[in-house]
């Protein structure tokens, strides 16, 4: 078994090999664990490797599959979760130094559902401190496998790096302002930020609960659909989770003709005002492919999120301060500088400030619903900047950093789902991603559109083999 043969395969291709007996879950898991142990010291994407658990789960999957029992497409497949998901008896740090010894007494619902589906958990993935922006010095920075000097995005940085390096076949991330979409774009991956409430958040460290959502990251829309089918759905333990039935995401993918007659909205003025030229050029390349597959590209006017964005940071900071009230200021010395600033700012938010943010959020959400009445999806960049180097990120002004979220944060506020997918590279060979945005609970439709695009293209099949295997 070689890295070329297995570690960059799609989840569904690996599942087919496992379920046909071409490879055993134990052999595959041992191979992936060896690869993690060899590459993680350089990439720093796993905070905990769950080798003993993974081998037990692989052995169980092997027995069940040999008896003809198949739990679904993730049965026997190595996966990993962001280290803000509770795992019973396994360290769960939330990227915070004072949580390094915390071992929950239960699994998060999303982890339990992965286990029930027969997935093999190979480890817990690095993340920015508290699911924010900066990585805590106690854990260091993860390394983008495409290029050592590139920021892998955040806060689901480890999820992006592990997938791009061929260390797992699906990963769970979380997204409060772009934390699934930006790492997906910066690592050449497909990632889904679902409708708020579509996936249970029980057993998850919160950042800003009104905006947080979990979601799957993988190599293709089909792999994301397979994972989404396992983790989505109402959970009595999370009263904010939606009651709506879960569709067959995998079965709804369709073929290359799934875009025929689909109306894709685009606001070229909004996109062009906030994104670099290379990103816009690639977006237009995507548009041409969509058109060739039968989609109708329809000019729209995207509702201006600026009035909301002016107030939204205060609401986010207030919720962050509320979440950390039990440990800040008591543990203030253990917090990083940027996270401390967010909490302190949140403590100063007035009820009037918070109310204004909610009013503007609801106004923007209503305008977006009106816009989406006339189209099946919107297309836009993921970020105003191409994949940044660590140096570029460090020297970026705060106003530039905030502007970088103008394509992501509005949909955390409105709760709409978006799918990010790879669309090419910058002139400096930095991975770039594009996103489709849909109405609430339109995940299956968005994944179908991206799947059709990926049948016709090969960007999702390109991997940083040389960087990760040296």
List Cα–Cα distances, 441 to 235, 242, 427, 437, in angstroms.
16, 10, 36, 11
Q: Which of 74-83, 278-287, 299-308, 381-390 has the lowest mean pLDDT?
A: 381-390
- Looking at the predicted structure, is the pLDDT value of residue 467 above 80? no
Burial state string for 285-298 with b = 16 or more CB within 10 A and e = fewer than 16:
ebbeebeebebebe
Task: Give residue 395's pLDDT.
Answer: 78
pLDDT tens, 353-377?
A: 999 999 999 999 999 999 999 999 9
Nearest Cα to Cα of residue 187 among 215, 163, 216: 163
Task: Find how far residue 197's CA is from the centre of its chain.
Answer: 15
CA distances from 323 to 226, 238, 276, 396 (A): 32, 16, 35, 28
Per-residue confidence band for 1, with pLDDT thresholds at 50, 70 and 90: very low
* Per-domain residue ranges of the chain: 3-300+374-469
pLDDT band at 394 (very low <50, low <70, confident <90, very high): confident
Tokens of 292: 């060739």
Looking at residue 4, what is its pLDDT?
A: 52
pLDDT of the residue at 469 = 60
Tokens of 422: 């790879």
The mean per-residue pLDDT over the stretch 283-298 comes to 99
* CB burial string 211-245: b at 16+ within 10 A, e below: bbbbbbbbbbbbbbbbbbbbbbbbbeebeebbeee
d(CA 119, CA 71): 9
pLDDT for 266-279, tens place per residue?
Answer: 999 999 987 889 99
Distance from C-alpha of 171 to C-alpha of 179, rounded to nearest angstrom: 13
Determine the length of the chain.
470
Q: Residue 449: what pLDDT?
A: 99
What pLDDT does 428 receive? 84
Mean pLDDT computed over every residue of the chain? 95
How confident is the model at residue 465, as a pLDDT?
Answer: 60
Active site residues: 82, 155, 179
What was the pLDDT predicted at 68? 97
Cα–Cα distance, 159 to 427 (Å, whole number): 25
Which residue, chain included where needed, has tokens 């403590």?
347
Model confidence at 39: pLDDT above 90: yes
As given in the structure block, the two tokens for residue 170 are 């699906």
Question: Chain-centre distance of CA 371, in angstroms?
Answer: 25
Q: Are 208 and 118 in contact (CB under 8 A)?
A: no
Residue 397 predicted with pLDDT over 80: no
What local confidence, expressed as pLDDT, does residue 468 receive?
Answer: 53
CATH of region 3-300+374-469: 3.90.1300.10
Radius of gyration of the chain (CA): 21
For 161-198, write each residue's pLDDT tens digit: 999 999 999 999 999 999 999 999 999 999 999 999 99
User: For the purposes of burial, counting CB atoms within 10 Å of the CB of 103, is it exposed (0-12), middle (13-18) or buried (19 or more)?
Assistant: exposed
| Rounded average pLDDT over 39-66 | 99
Question: Per residue in 4-13, pLDDT tens?
Answer: 568 999 999 9
pLDDT at 3 over 50: no
């Amino acid at each position: 078994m070689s890295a070329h043969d297995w570690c960059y395969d799609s989840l569904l291709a690996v599942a087919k090999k496992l379920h046909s007996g071409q490879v055993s879950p134990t052999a595959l898991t041992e191979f992936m664990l060896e690869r993690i142990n060899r590459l993680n010291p350089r990439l720093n994407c796993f905070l905990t490797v769950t080798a003993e658990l993974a081998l037990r789960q692989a052995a169980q999957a092997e027995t069940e599959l040999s008896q003809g029992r198949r739990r679904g497409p993730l049965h026997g497949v190595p996966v990993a979760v962001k280290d803000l998901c509770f795992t019973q008896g396994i360290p769960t740090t939330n990227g915070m130094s004072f949580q390094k010894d915390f071992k929950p007494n239960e699994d998060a619902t999303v982890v339990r559902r992965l286990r029930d589906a027969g997935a093999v958990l190979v480890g817990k993935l690095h993340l920015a401190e508290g699911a924010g922006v900066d990585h805590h010095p106690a854990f260091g920075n993860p390394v983008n496998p495409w290029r050592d000097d590139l920021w892998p995005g955040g806060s689901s940085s480890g999820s992006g790096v592990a997938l791009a390096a061929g260390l797992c076949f699906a990963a769970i991330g979380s997204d409060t302002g772009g934390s699934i979409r930006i790492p997906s774009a910066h690592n050449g991956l497909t990632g889904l930020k679902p409708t708020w409430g579509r996936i249970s958040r029980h057993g998850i460290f919160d950042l800003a609960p009104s905006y947080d959502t979990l979601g799957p990251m993988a190599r293709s829309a089909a792999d994301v659909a397979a994972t989404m089918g396992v983790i989505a759905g109402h959970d009595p333990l999370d009263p904010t989770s939606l009651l709506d039935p879960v569709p067959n995401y995998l079965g709804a993918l369709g073929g290359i003709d799934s875009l025929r007659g689909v109306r894709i909205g685009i606001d070229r003025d909004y996109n062009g005002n906030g994104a670099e030229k290379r990103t816009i050029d690639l977006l237009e390349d995507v548009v041409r492919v969509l058109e060739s597959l039968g989609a109708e590209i329809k000019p729209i006017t995207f509702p201006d999120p600026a009035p909301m964005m002016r107030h939204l940071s205060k609401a986010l900071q207030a919720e962050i301060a509320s979440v950390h009230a039990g440990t800040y200021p008591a543990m203030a010395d253990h917090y990083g500088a940027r996270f401390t600033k967010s909490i302190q700012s949140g403590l100063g938010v007035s009820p009037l400030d918070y109310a204004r943010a909610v009013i503007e959020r609801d106004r923007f959400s209503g305008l977006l619903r009106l816009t989406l009445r006339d189209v099946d999806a919107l297309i836009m960049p993921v970020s105003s900047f191409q994949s940044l180097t660590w140096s570029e990120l460090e020297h970026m002004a705060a106003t530039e950093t905030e502007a970088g979220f103008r394509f992501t944060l509005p949909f955390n506020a409105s709760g709409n789902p978006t799918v990010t997918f790879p669309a090419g590279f910058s002139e400096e060979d930095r991975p770039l991603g594009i996103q489709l945005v849909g109405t609430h609970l339109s995940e299956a439709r968005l994944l179908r559109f991206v799947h059709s695009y990926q049948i016709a293209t090969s960007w999702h099949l390109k991997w940083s083999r040389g960087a990760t295997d040296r």
